[in-house]
A and B are shown apart, each in its own frame.
Chain A
Amino acid sequence: MKETFAKLSPFQVDPARVMGEYGLSAADFEPASNDEKESMVEKRKSVSYWKDAWRRFKANTVSMVALAVFILCLIFAFIGPYFIPYSYGDQYRSSQKLGPKEFSDQEQLVVDVQDEVEYMFATFTQPGSITSLDPGAYYAKVKGKVYAFELEKLVDKVIIAVNPDDADPLVMIREKDIVDGHIVEKTPMEFTTTASPDAKQLKMVKKVFPHVFGTDSVGRDIMARTMYGARVSIMIGIVSALIVLFIGSIYGSVSGILGGKVDFVMMRIVELIYSIPEVLIVLLLQVVLKDPLQNWFDTSESAIVHALSTLGAGIISIFITFALLYWVTMARIIRGQVLQLKQSEYVTAARALGASTGRIIKRHLLPNCVGPLVITTCLQIPSAIFLESFLSFLGLGVSAPMASLGSLCSDALATITLYPYRLLYPAITLTIIVLSLNLVGDGLRDALDPRLKK
Chain B
Amino acid sequence: MFVYVLKRIGAAVLTLLLIMSITFFLMNAIPGSPFLTEKSTPQQIELANQKYGLDKPLVVQLKNYILNYLKGDLGVSLKMQEGTDVSKLLFHQGKFELSIKLGISAILLAIVIGIPLGCIAAYNRGSWIDGFLRVMTTVGVAIPTFVLATLLLIYFGVKHPVLPTNSGSLTDFKSMIMPIISLSFYYVCYIAKLTRTSMLDAINQDYIRTARAKGVKTRWIVLKHALRNSLIPVVTYLGPVTAGIITGSFVVESTFQIPGLGKYFVNSILSRDYPVIMATTVVLAALVIFMNLVVDIVYKMIDPRITLTNKEG
- A residues sitting closer than 8 Å to B (CB atoms) are 267, 271-272, 275-281, 283-285, 287-288, 291-292, 295, 332, 335-336, 339-340, 382, 386, 389-390, 393-394, 406, 409, 413, 416-417, 420, 423, 427, 430-432, 434-435, 438-439, 454
Which of A275, A332, A416, A434 meets B142, CB within 8 Å?
A434
Distance (whole angstroms) from the CB of B242 to the closest CB of chain A? 9
Which of B14, B147, B285 meets A430, CB within 8 Å?
B147
Whole-angstrom CA separation of A288 from B277 in the bound complex: 12
A276 touches B18 (CB 8 A): yes
B251 touches A389 (CB 8 A): no
A420 touches B30 (CB 8 A): no
Distance (whole angstroms) from the CB of B96 to the closest CB of chain A? 16
A416 touches B284 (CB 8 A): no
Distance (whole angstroms) from the CB of B125 to the closest CB of chain A? 15
Given A393-B251, A438-B142; A275-B15 close (CB under 8 Å) = yes
Whole-angstrom CA separation of A46 from B312 in the bound complex: 35
- What residues of chain A lie closer than 8 Å to B65, measured between beta carbons? none
Chain A minimum-CB-distance residue to B244: A279
Which of the candidate stretches B20-28, B107-115, B209-217, B219-227 sits at the interface with the other chain? Answer: B20-28
Whether B29 sits at the interface, judged by CB under 8 Å, is yes
Whether B6 sits at the interface, judged by CB under 8 Å, is no
A-B contact pairs, 23 of them (CB 8 A): A272-B15, A275-B11, A275-B288, A276-B19, A277-B19, A277-B246, A284-B281, A288-B27, A340-B313, A386-B144, A390-B247, A394-B251, A394-B254, A406-B146, A409-B146, A416-B153, A416-B154, A427-B150, A431-B143, A431-B147, A432-B142, A435-B139, A454-B197
Chain A minimum-CB-distance residue to B291: A277
Whether B31 sits at the interface, judged by CB under 8 Å, is yes
B31 touches A291 (CB 8 A): yes
- What residues of chain B lie closer than 8 Å to A281, measured between beta carbons? 19, 22-23, 26
- What residues of chain B lie closer than 8 Å to A409, measured between beta carbons? 146-147, 150
- What residues of chain A lie closer than 8 Å to B250, measured between beta carbons? 279, 283, 394
- What residues of chain A lie closer than 8 Å to B142, measured between beta carbons? 382, 431-432, 434-435, 438
B158 touches A284 (CB 8 A): no
A393 touches B146 (CB 8 A): yes
Whole-angstrom CA separation of A438 from B142 in the bound complex: 8
- What residues of chain B lie closer than 8 Å to A292, measured between beta carbons? 29, 31
Within 8 A of A (CB), among B1-39: 11-12, 14-15, 18-19, 22-23, 26-27, 29-32
A283 touches B197 (CB 8 A): no
Within 8 A of A (CB), among B242-271: 243, 246-247, 250-251, 254, 265-266, 269-270
Distance (whole angstroms) from the CB of B182 to the closest CB of chain A? 13
- What residues of chain A lie closer than 8 Å to B26, measured between beta carbons? 281, 284-285, 288
Q: Mark B264-292, 1 if CB is under 8 A from A, else 0.
A: 01100110000001000100110011001
Distance (whole angstroms) from the CB of B56 to the closest CB of chain A? 21
Most chain B beta-carbon contacts within 10 A, residue among A284, A416, A438: A284
Which of B23, B141, B269, B292 meets A275, CB within 8 Å?
B292
Distance (whole angstroms) from the CB of B235 to the closest CB of chain A? 16
Given A283-B266, A292-B31, A431-B143; A277-B197 close (CB under 8 Å) = no
- What residues of chain B lie closer than 8 Å to A435, measured between beta carbons? 138-139, 142
Distance (whole angstroms) from the CB of B257 to the closest CB of chain A? 12
Within 8 A of A (CB), among B280-307: 281, 284-285, 288-289, 292
Within 8 A of A (CB), among B152-194: 153-154, 158
Chain B minimum-CB-distance residue to A387: B247
Most chain A beta-carbon contacts within 10 A, residue among B150, B158, B254: B150
